[in-house]
Amino acid sequence: MASEFDYDLVIIGAGVGGHGAAIHAVQRGLKTAIIEAGDMGGTCVNRGCIPSKALLAASGKVREMRDEQHLKAMGISLGSVGFDREGIADHAKNLVGKIQGDLTNSLIRLGVDTIRGWGKIAGTQKVSVQEGSGTRIITAKDIILSPGSIPFVPRGIETDGKTVYTSDEAIRLDWLPEWVAIIGSGYIGLEFSDVYTALGSEVTMIEAMPQLMPTFDPDIAKQAERMLIKPRDIETKVGLLAKKITPGFPVEIELADPKTMETVEVLEVDACLVATGRIPATKNLDLNMVSVETDRRGFIPVDEHLAVLRGEEPVPHLYAIGDANGKMMLAHSASAQGIVAVDNICGDSRTVDYNAIPAAAFTHPEVSFVGMTEPAAKEKGKEEGYEVASVRSYFKANSKALPEGETDGIAKLVYRKDTGEVMGAHIIGIHAADLIQEAANAIAQKQSVTELAKFVHTHPTLSEVLDEAYKLAMVTA
Ligand code: FAD
């Protein structure tokens, strides 16, 4: 490729987005460099997916082994089950170290140059890297911005990283508070409530919206409240905004009516996890060098090919992927976008179908979804002139869930009544995060419930929960 540039492609940010883009770029023959100022692997590897799933795996085992009734039903009895907080924290820490090492080595093996330092746009097809006290200018035919995101801490909330903290500190499990407030009932809040309650902490979950888990399909949110909140040591405060939080012993939380902003209650707890979402890490990238402005929240505007937009027009040779563009703030979405951006750079016109990208909360049991919620699908159907229907199938009749003694859960399928095309799938139950992939593939391929009902599923497996849903939908379609 062109030799007038130092590289064919330079990527700013070595999170999963940047890493996915770099690997694909090498496979496509591009001379590639990746610039990283912090921890190789970014949020997912160091402060997100990986350590949180390690905490969930270990604490989930504690929960399971302490569930005497569940074990007794299978003829198992255990003495008392103990755990070592530090050991669980180390399990997460060691896993981070291993995956970070694997990721770093994979870049070396593939011949990607890793440049450590803060990257910025220095002009068209130019980046600068702050390395120690010096600055180096690198030219590249194409540039991908993948700077990711950081936790959002609303105004009025003061964090000290010890008693009031975000997920960045929570994943270290430095201590186990007896009583912890969690602000936000999104997937991060929900996952940490799973960890804390399994390890014996009492949780107060605070949600400013009128209902818990506002982004879930309403039926699944109801089930999640029944299965993940009500039976556990979790008190909920819904429709209340954490107006002011002061760290210390105790932590003081002022709760206000979101409309009037008047304080209605003051809580005193041992610790507080602020899980109120994430914001793009796009400050200090010098986007002004190419006359690009982020949106109000800081997201980099992109078109469907992931090209950065200047007003309405794509900026040549500049792309932005992952959490920083706000399209879908998930690890697999970031790496998928990285691959698509590289393909576009190589001249293949490609876009990402966000509707077919699944998401999951790795609670016990898991919650997963892909595509539209039923209300959103019905709204779309109304606009476009077709009817939308839904069916539910249950884990309680499933021959794999029954022997496991894990029969609580449902799968809900949302589909077009006229064509049978699947519009959304929502699952809560054991291994829901693995199960959703089948529905995601069906949505990506625009398959109908009638087609899907003809595929043969292995017996006895949890996948038969979806099989049953397709068959039910076919009958009623
Ligand atoms: P990041 O991973 O944030 O990486 C960006 C990188 O760029 C960082 O390393 C940063 O240091 C670097 N950088 C930024 N600016 C510069 C600069 N100017 N110069 C040089 N380097 C720079 N997603 C899932 O799909 N599944 C999950 O189970 C899941 N669990 C999560 C749990 C938690 C607690 C959290 C917080 C997140 C979780 N996520 C999960 C979300 C996931 O981590 C993110 O969507 C993903 O990491 C985004 O990848 P990215 O490459 O866009 O950005």
Measured CA distances, 81 to 65, 68, 75, 127, 203 (Å): 7, 10, 17, 54, 21
Model confidence band, residue 71 (pLDDT cutoffs 50, 70, 90) = very high
- The pLDDT tens digits of the residues spanning 373-415 come to 999 999 999 999 999 999 999 999 999 999 999 999 999 999 9
Q: Whose CA is nearest to atom 33 of ligand 1?
A: 48
Contact 252, 246 (CB under 8 A): yes
Q: What is the pTM of this model?
A: 0.97
Backbone phi, psi, residue 329, to 5°: -85, 70
Residue 19 pLDDT greater than 60, yes or no: yes
Model confidence band, residue 2 (pLDDT cutoffs 50, 70, 90) = very low
Model confidence band, residue 338 (pLDDT cutoffs 50, 70, 90) = very high
Residue 476 pLDDT greater than 80, yes or no: no
> Alpha helix (H) ranges present in 228-387?
331-345, 374-384
Report which of 358, 330, 299 is spatially closest to residue 48, judged by C-alpha positions.
330
Going along 146-286, which residue ranges are E strands? 149-151, 164-165, 179-183, 202-207, 234-238, 241-246, 251-256, 263-269, 271-274, 278-280
Say yes or no: CB of residue 201 within 6 Å of ligand 1. no
- The pLDDT tens digits of the residues spanning 169-188 come to 999 999 999 999 999 999 99
Say yes or no: CB of residue 40 within 6 Å of ligand 1. no
How far, in Å, is the centroid of ligand 1 from the Cα of 149? 6
Q: How many C-beta neighbours within 10 Å does residue 62 have?
A: 17
- The pLDDT tens digits of the residues spanning 219-248 come to 999 999 999 999 999 999 999 999 999 999
How far, in Å, is the centroid of ligand 1 from the Cα of 38? 11
Report which of 345, 302, 303, 307 is spatially closest to residue 325, judged by C-alpha positions.
302
- The pLDDT tens digits of the residues spanning 202-211 come to 999 999 999 9
What letter would DSSP give residue 36?
E
Residue 308 pLDDT greater than 70, yes or no: yes
How far, in Å, is the centroid of ligand 1 from the Cα of 331? 7
Atom of ligand 1 nearest to the CA of 330: 45
Q: 3-class SS at 164?
A: strand
Give the pLDDT score at 294: 97
Say yes or no: CB of residue 43 within 6 Å of ligand 1. yes
How far, in Å, is the centroid of ligand 1 from the Cα of 272? 22
Say yes or no: CB of residue 267 within 6 Å of ligand 1. no
- The pLDDT tens digits of the residues spanning 246-276 come to 999 999 999 999 999 999 999 999 999 999 9
Say yes or no: CB of residue 25 within 6 Å of ligand 1. no
Atom of ligand 1 nearest to the CA of 129: 19
Q: 3-class SS at 438?
A: helix
User: Average per-residue pLDDT in the chain?
Assistant: 97
Q: How many C-beta neighbours within 10 Å does residue 475 have?
A: 11
Contact 73, 405 (CB under 8 A): yes
What letter would DSSP give residue 345?
H
Model confidence band, residue 154 (pLDDT cutoffs 50, 70, 90) = very high
DSSP string covering 439-468, please?
HHHHHHTT-BHHHHTTSPPPTTSTTHHHHH
Atom of ligand 1 nearest to the CA of 285: 18
* Region at 420 (left for phi over 0; alpha for psi -120 to 50; beta for the rest): left
16: tokens are 């999963």
Atom of ligand 1 nearest to the CA of 170: 34
Contact 245, 274 (CB under 8 A): yes
Q: 3-class SS at 325?
A: helix
Report which of 187, 180, 195 is spatially closest to residue 63, judged by C-alpha positions.
195
Catalytic residue among 317, 332, 457, 459: 459
CA 370 to chain centre: 13
Q: Which residues contact 155 (CB under 8 A, 6 or more apart)?
A: none
Say yes or no: CB of residue 280 within 6 Å of ligand 1. no
Give the pLDDT score at 477: 57
Q: Annotated catalytic, 426?
A: no
Residue 1 pLDDT greater than 50, yes or no: no
